[in-house]
Chain A
Amino acid sequence: MYTTEFEKTAKIKNLEDPKLLEAFEERVAADEFIEPKDWMPEAYRRTLTRQISQHAHSEIVGMLPEGNWITRAPSLRRKAILLAKVQDEAGHGLYLYCAAETLGTSREEMIEALHSGKAKYSTIFNYPTPTWADIGAIGWLVDGAAIMNQVPLQRTSYGPYARAMVRVCKEESFHQRQGYEIMIVLANGTAEQRRMAQDALNRWWWPSLMMFGPPDAESPNTAQSMRWRIKRETNDELRQKFVDITAPQADYLGLKVPDRELKWNEEKGGYDFGEIEWEEFYAVVRGEGPMAKERMKARRDAWEDGAWVREAAAAHEAKRRQRKAA
């Protein structure tokens, strides 16, 4: 991906130039990709910076709920898998930070915005992971919902974002499959293991549906984002798709989706499902999730505890540079 450094030499143009805007809209409508040095409307740049950096933050914070199970994984096989998955999440965060940086915001600014609480990340990571079944449910449902969201983003209009998504999607399928495999083992295990699996599904189902964002009618940015091909499908369309493919997977496990209104609708060729409690969603967005404070503390601690490594690496580089010069 290109760099913030490139931006410094970019010419300053009249951002409101209607001719430029028209040409831009035409390119996007023709499914062309926009690249970092191309002219783009300020609102497009702002929207993308916000969306990509939130996406990056989510990957980074997403390591925390699962990371705390690495040392407690039930077998060496599971431990190696979980370690690889959490490492992937870090990688995904890095691809996305790189993509966001091409829009002119530095990595440092983004990390600071996360740590100060100014930047948002996916609300899903503010729920706790008290049992091993949560690791299964996260892979199956949370990563499943993430895939549903990310697949169309491979064709998003901003080139660096689309390319990062191609890479992420390639790696994400393993995350979902390892989670579902955990659920299969638990669902076919002892009565206690089955209870644990059902309990995890009960707690993660609704938050997973909320991952697609507010209903289309209450999502003010959707229309503009669709027009600019930042988003390719609406929140409600993606949510419906997710329910349609996930409900039969729960059936296979012999687990019950915690929604009495969930029912196959032959006519529409999809499932009907119950109303989402949006008040809970907005409360979590406002930072009232059960784990919000702990997540941010863990992030800040990791950043501060790692400071000596960054300083040592910088000192090492400076010393070698001096030696070379001498």
Chain B
Amino acid sequence: MNDWPLWEVFVRSKGGLSHRHAGSVHAPDAELALAHARDTYTRRMEGVSLWVVPSKEIVASDPDQAGELFEPAESKIYRHPTFYDIPDEVKHI
């Protein structure tokens, strides 16, 4: 028998926070994936909500392309507030 499909597990640790990747589980369907995710990743009240996503549905960027992909942001430092010189006497800005 071959492995069941892989699911990525995301846990919201408490209300107000985003779901965060915790790990993965094997399961034949979504319902069992949730059950396995609960048993594997939330044995100590680590979460209030779970997402499971079939791993094969995740599209990831290529780490080899990371340079080109993220470079444009690096050269645009004027996107950060500290780029601008504002006199000290001007307040609340």
Contact = CB atoms under 8 A, between A and B. Distances in A.
A307 B1 CA distance: 9
Interface string A301-326: 00000010011011011001000000
A37 B65 CA distance: 11
A309 to B, nearest CB: 11
Contacts of A307: 1
Contact of A5 (B4, B32, B56): B56
A179 B55 CA distance: 38
Nearest to A11: B64
Interface in B1-21: 1-4, 6, 8, 21
Query: What DSSP secondary structure best describes chain A's contact surface?
Result: helix
Of A38, A94, A164, chain B has the most CB atoms within 10 Å of the CB of A94
Given A5-B55, A39-B64, A91-B43, A317 B24 contact: no
20 contacts: A2-B60, A3-B56, A4-B6, A5-B6, A5-B55, A6-B55, A6-B58, A38-B63, A87-B43, A91-B43, A95-B40, A101-B6, A107-B3, A107-B26, A108-B2, A167-B23, A310-B1, A314-B1, A317-B28, A320-B29
A95 B23 contact: yes
Interface string B36-66: 0001100110000000000110101011100
A272 interface: no
A106 B4 CA distance: 11
B55 A3 contact: yes
Given A3-B6, A91-B43, A316 B24 contact: no
B63 A37 contact: yes
A236 interface: no
A98 interface: yes
A171 B42 CA distance: 12
A234 to B, nearest CB: 29
A106 B25 contact: no
Interface of B: 1-4, 6, 8, 21, 23-29, 32, 39-40, 43-44, 55-56, 58, 60, 62-64
Contacts of A95: 23, 40
B40 A91 contact: yes
Nearest to A310: B1
A262 B40 CA distance: 41
Nearest to A109: B3
Contacts of A1: 8, 21, 23-24
Contacts of A5: 6, 55-56
Interface string A7-21: 000010000000000
Contacts of B60: 2, 6, 37
A3 B2 contact: no
A98 B63 contact: no
A139 to B, nearest CB: 17
